[in-house]
Each structure stands twice: as structure tokens, then as C-alpha cells.
A = this chain, B = another copy of it.
Amino acid sequence: MSSASADEIRIIGIAGIPEVRPGDNLGGIISDAIRQQPAGMSSGEVLVIAQKIVSKAEGKVVRLSQVRPSKVSAEWAKRYGKDPRVVEVALGESVRIVRMDRGVLISETRHGFVCANAGVDISNVEEGYVTLLPDDPDESARRLRQSLRDELGADVAVIVSDTFGRPWREGLVNIALGVAGLDPLIDLRGKPDWKGQPLRVTVMAAADELASAAELVMGKASGVPAALIKGYRYESAVEQSGRALIRPPEMDLFR
């Protein structure tokens, strides 16, 4: 038996990030918080940031008092005890309804994400407001990546994450909405398995797993909206996109 040590990854929650408001310089705020971290940040690491504060900085916030629910939103909301204005905003963010049953609205957003309420969220935002998903989460990730390079001199990968539900399984997990600087998928097809035989169909959704790992220190309730991942080796990839994690419609048995 070999006693060779395997990889070790560290996941560090970034505390001390203040409330973010529309127009705030998110890159500056995150850089300041990272400067307070004993471990700092170095090139080759991964920053995972919650969609919520990205959306706030980008002004993707809707005041519910300005929303006029349609009849369908009003009736469905009433039937299931929902806020009709939130339903209205969620329908407006949707390009296709996947399921709308038993109080659950699952739809496809204009980005192609399939998720509950089209990513419209009432938690961790001022009362009377909801947040929407960023217009282009990859662009959000790229901007933040560039900011971190400018402010801290570190070339890192950035993942904009959100919590999504899944069919068949209980509970939410963090997934990657937007990605900059790393390949979100690791294609092991043709690589040998432990036995030297080729792995046939294995493509790992590494960016989703990184987002899930980060959630373990972030948490919805903990006020830690970002995490740093150290020790995860990845191939730098400039032209990558979280869209690679969206299954193409023609390959989607559940469309």
C-alpha cells in the first residue's frame, strides 16, 4: 500500500462582506473582504459567490408594489397561498413553463436555466423586494474575475452560484450559474479508470460540485455570501461558460 498523500482542498467562507446595494462595486467589496482573510487569495484558486449579491450589485431587484399581477398569476397564487406579485415576476422571467402544479412553478429562464420561480427570490432582500437572476451570469463572473485580478493581482476562477432544487431528490444544492476562468465540465471519456479501462460516459460537472462545496461554508442563513476554494487543480479556460452546464434541449429527456 502506498502512503502517498492525495489532494487536499480547503474551502474558506469569506466573512465581513457588507450589505450590497445596486451600483456597488462588487469587485472592490469582495477584494476588501479577501484582504481581511488570514489566508488571502492566490492565482489558481476559485472564488464562489452567491447570485444574490451579484444581482443586488447589478440592480436586478424588483419592488413588488410596482408589480400588477395578471389574472393567471392572481388565481394561481390565491389557490396555493403565494404572493401573486412574486408569481407575476417569476412568470415574466420565464420563457417556458416546465411544471406549474401543487404550488410549485418550475420554468425555463431566458438563460436556459430550469429552476423554481425562474430564480426570483424573496429571501435575503429587503422586505417588499425580490431579486432576479443576473442578465448574464458568465459576464458577471468575468467582470468579478477581472476586478480581482486588478485589485489583488491574482488570476482566479469565479463561479456565480445559486441554490436549485432537483427532480427526484429532496433539498436544494448550490449549482454554478456563471463561470469564468475554468472549464465547468471535466470530460473523462476515454481516460482510463482505476483498472486501466476507458471510462465511457463520464463527464463530471465540476463547477456545480465546486458550488456545492462552497455552500457548506456559505449557507443561506449565515451571512457568508462567498467562499474561496484553495487546492483544487483545474485547467484555466478563458472562454468558458456556465451555459455548458445546461443540457441542450435535444439531449434533454425531460423537456
Question: A208–B222 Cα gap in the complex (Å)?
Answer: 19
Residues of B within 8 A of A166 (CB): 166-167
Residues of B within 8 A of A104 (CB): 253
- Contact partner of A254 (CB less than 8 A), chosen from B33, B38, B206, B254, is B254
By the criterion CB–CB under 8 Å, are A195 and B1 in contact? Answer: no
Stretch at the interface among A9-17, A132-140, A145-153: A9-17
Question: A163–B210 Cα gap in the complex (Å)?
Answer: 15
Majority secondary structure of chain A interface residues (helix, strand, loop or mixed): loop
A5 vs chain B, min Cβ distance (A): 6
Question: A212–B19 Cα gap in the complex (Å)?
Answer: 29
By the criterion CB–CB under 8 Å, are B6 and A14 in contact? Answer: yes
Copies of the protein in its oligomer: 2
- CB of A95 within 8 A of chain B? no
By the criterion CB–CB under 8 Å, are B197 and A5 in contact? Answer: no
- Contact partner of A197 (CB less than 8 A), chosen from B127, B173, B185, B200, is B127
- CB of A68 within 8 A of chain B? no
Question: A104–B250 Cα gap in the complex (Å)?
Answer: 13
A232 vs chain B, min Cβ distance (A): 6
Closest 8 CB pairs of A and B: A171-B205, A6-B13, A213-B213, A167-B254, A212-B212, A6-B15, A3-B36, A209-B212
Listed in ascending order, the chain A residues whose CB lies under 8 Å from chain B are 1-19, 32-33, 36-38, 99, 101-102, 104, 106, 114, 122-127, 163, 166-175, 184-186, 188, 191-195, 197, 199-200, 202-206, 208-210, 212-213, 215-217, 219-225, 227, 232, 244-247, 252-254
